[in-house]
């Protein structure tokens, strides 16, 4: 980057020189929140936005009479069920109490689905972030989906900050939870803050210093329904002892015990994925939320270079490049448009700039670019490495695509998960076939499901392939809401998908319990009824191509 050209980012004027670009990247933190369903992920997402003063009042848990749904859950299905079924991006500025007065950090928080049926959507998000917050329910501990997503983080080298949530409710002891983390995922937990008061009696947090000494006590005061930022009272160890008595003594003793077992924070080990800073919190009451944000700003890594297909790094100071990690339609019912979310990898993005679409080699104009806060949007004039920008009606873009200027670059594609559930999709009314086709093409391009076709079934009866059956429910709900099409679904009796080729297609279609389809990206997939049928075919016809679809986390 040469020259002193300046632009605006929020309220802060920045330069596009190499030095200025590096500084902009350094003040950004881009992370995802991962958890098992019902661990409080969307509630935490909103609590973080509240503490950053992006919103004035938090909603609460779904399903409570008279309460709001969280800003990150905008689909009617999400509001009705109280779960997240789609990832959303929130961007806001935050000034940490740990940083100089003039330093304002830009937080790019990507909320993810917790349900295992939407693992593929979560994986796409994890290709676009630099850190993750692993949210654990204090009563339930580590749960299957949390473990699975942690393995994805480990595979991708994403450092993890652990938040033990719901400490305001009865649960396990803090030492038991740390032992579980250490034993089940091989990650050494290094608490930065230690709870004062047992689970269900959350009084405040002991801030740990070097060698486990109690640096200070942060005492919280409840607000009505947790709708406002919880007031904090900070006191030294002597005042904490006078205030809390034996509860403070217990917390201080346990903090020293952690140091004796080597559970103090080490930044290099954290970035290497060997340790995880731990914070205890209650997202519902807004206890410990500021501490989470401060920890992210202080410890989470800023954007760094990314390797391209050849293995060569694209540095943040190189000319503009970005990766599309998600495509989403239906966020704006008034306009029914389509947003392609891109993570900026390098350089400066300026609205209206003409970039190149690496997959087609064609120019792409970025006139309609927006930052997103849940369902709300605002036009973005410029953005920097680590930022997430939505491009409106970018119909040529799909997850995994690369955009760039100047020197050509293409980043590795985002792998698809191996589908395990299959269903025929039809329109209830033949008179709405055109709307049906548009809906199918739209949801396919977003990656909501994989769409498979063959000559026998035709375009009127495509087959949906998904990781989990709830993805089919999302398809039906969105077809009705966005395209006014009632969809009819019929389960298909296949359990496995294998990649095949044209040379094997004819013989495979002759086999009982097998049917070959073409996926939208041109890949041939053989659907097989069960593993025993697959084993039989592989034994009897070893020359046929039947390759496993490797899951992204493998």
Q: Is 112 annotated as a binding residue?
A: yes
> Could you give the dihedral angle defined by the CA atoms of residues 334, 336, 340 and 344, in that order, rounded to the nearest 10 degrees?
-10
> Measured between alpha carbons, how far is 277 from 450 in angstroms, rounded to an integer?
38
> Measured between alpha carbons, how far is 250 from 496 in angstroms, rounded to an integer?
53
> Measured between alpha carbons, how far is 392 from 377 in angstroms, rounded to an integer?
11
Extract the tokens encoding 364: 């792409």
Instruction: 148-157: list long-range contacts, CB under 8 Å, 24+ apart.
Output: 148/116, 148/119, 148/553, 149/34, 149/35, 149/119, 149/122, 150/34, 150/185, 150/187, 151/553, 152/122, 152/123, 152/126, 152/552, 152/553, 153/34, 153/126, 153/273, 154/273, 155/553, 156/126, 156/127, 157/273
Helix H or strand E segment including 41:
helix 41-51
Q: Is 111 annotated as a binding residue?
A: yes
> Measured between alpha carbons, how far is 228 from 441 in angstroms, rounded to an integer?
43
Q: Could you tell me which residues are beta bridge partners of residue 21? A: none
Inter-residue contact 78 to 69 (CB < 8 Å):
yes
Q: Is 37 annotated as a binding residue?
A: no
Q: Is 99 annotated as a binding residue?
A: no
Angle made by CA atoms 318, 322, 323, in degrees to the nearest 5: 140
Name the nearest CA neighbour of 359 among 388, 386, 399: 399
Name the nearest CA neighbour of 424 among 409, 410, 412, 440: 440
Q: Is 170 annotated as a binding residue?
A: no
Beta strands in 440-546 (DSSP E): 450-453, 463-466, 487-491, 496-500, 514-519, 524-528
Annotated binding-site positions: 111-115
Annotated binding-site positions for GTP: 111-115
């Amino acid at each position: 980057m040469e020259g002193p050209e300046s632009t605006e980012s929020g309220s802060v004027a920045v330069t596009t020189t190499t030095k200025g670009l590096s500084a902009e990247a350094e003040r950004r933190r881009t992370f995802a929140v991962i958890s098992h369903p019902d661990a409080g992920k969307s509630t935490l997402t909103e609590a973080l936005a509240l503490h950053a003063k992006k919103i004035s009042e938090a909603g609460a848990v779904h399903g409570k009479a008279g309460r709001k749904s969280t800003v990150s859950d905008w689909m009617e299905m999400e509001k009705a069920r109280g779960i997240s079924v789609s990832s959303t991006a929130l961007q806001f500025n935050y000034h940490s109490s740990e940083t100089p007065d003039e330093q304002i950090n830009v937080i790019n928080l990507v909320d993810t689905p917790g349900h295992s049926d939407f693992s593929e959507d979560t994986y796409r998000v994890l290709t676009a972030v630099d850190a993750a917050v692993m949210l654990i329910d204090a009563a339930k501990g580590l749960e299957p989906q949390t473990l699975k997503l942690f393995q994805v983080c480990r595979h991708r080298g994403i450092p993890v900050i652990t938040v033990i949530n719901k400490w305001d409710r009865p649960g396990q002891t803090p030492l038991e939870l740390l032992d579980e983390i250490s034993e089940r995922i091989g990650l050494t937990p290094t608490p930065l803050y230690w709870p004062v008061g047992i689970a269900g009696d959350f009084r405040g947090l002991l801030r740990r210093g070097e060698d486990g000494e109690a640096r200070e006590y942060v005492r919280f005061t409840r607000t009505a329904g947790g709708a406002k930022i919880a007031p904090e009272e900070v006191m030294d160890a002597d005042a904490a002892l006078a205030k809390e008595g034996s509860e403070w003594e217990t917390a201080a003793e346990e903090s020293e015990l952690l140091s004796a077992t080597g559970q103090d924070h080490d930044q290099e080990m954290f970035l290497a994925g060997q340790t995880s800073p731990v914070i205890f919190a209650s997202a519902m009451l807004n206890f410990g939320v500021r501490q989470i944000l401060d920890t992210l700003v202080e410890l989470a890594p800023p954007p760094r270079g990314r390797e391209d297909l050849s293995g060569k790094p694209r540095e943040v100071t190189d000319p503009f490049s970005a990766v599309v990690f998600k495509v989403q339609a239906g966020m704006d019912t008034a306009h029914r448009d389509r947003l392609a979310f891109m993570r900026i990898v390098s350089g400066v993005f300026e609205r209206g700039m003409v970039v190149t679409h690496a997959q087609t080699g064609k120019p792409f104009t970025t006139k309609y670019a927006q930052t997103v806060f849940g369902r709300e949007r605002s036009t973005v004039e410029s953005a920097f490495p680590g930022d997430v920008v939505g491009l409106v009606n970018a119909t040529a873009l799909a997850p995994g695509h690369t955009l760039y200027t100047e020197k050509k670059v293409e980043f590795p594609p985002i792998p698809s998960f191996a589908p395990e559930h299959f269903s025929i999709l039809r329109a209830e009314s033949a008179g709405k076939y055109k709307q049906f086709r548009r809906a199918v093409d739209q949801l396919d391009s977003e990656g909501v499901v994989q769409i498979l076709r063959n000559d026998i079934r035709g375009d009127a009866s495509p087959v949906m392939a998904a990781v989990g059956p709830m993805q089919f429910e999302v398809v039906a709900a969105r077809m009705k809401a966005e395209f006014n099409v009632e969809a009819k679904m019929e389960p298909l009796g296949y359990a496995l998908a294998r990649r095949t080729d044209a040379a094997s297609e004819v013989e495979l279609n002759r086999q009982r319990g097998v049917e070959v389809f073409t996926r939208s990206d041109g890949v041939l997939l053989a659907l097989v009824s069960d593993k025993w049928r697959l084993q039989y075919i592989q034994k009897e016809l070893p020359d046929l191509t039947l390759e496993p679809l490797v899951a992204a986390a493998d």
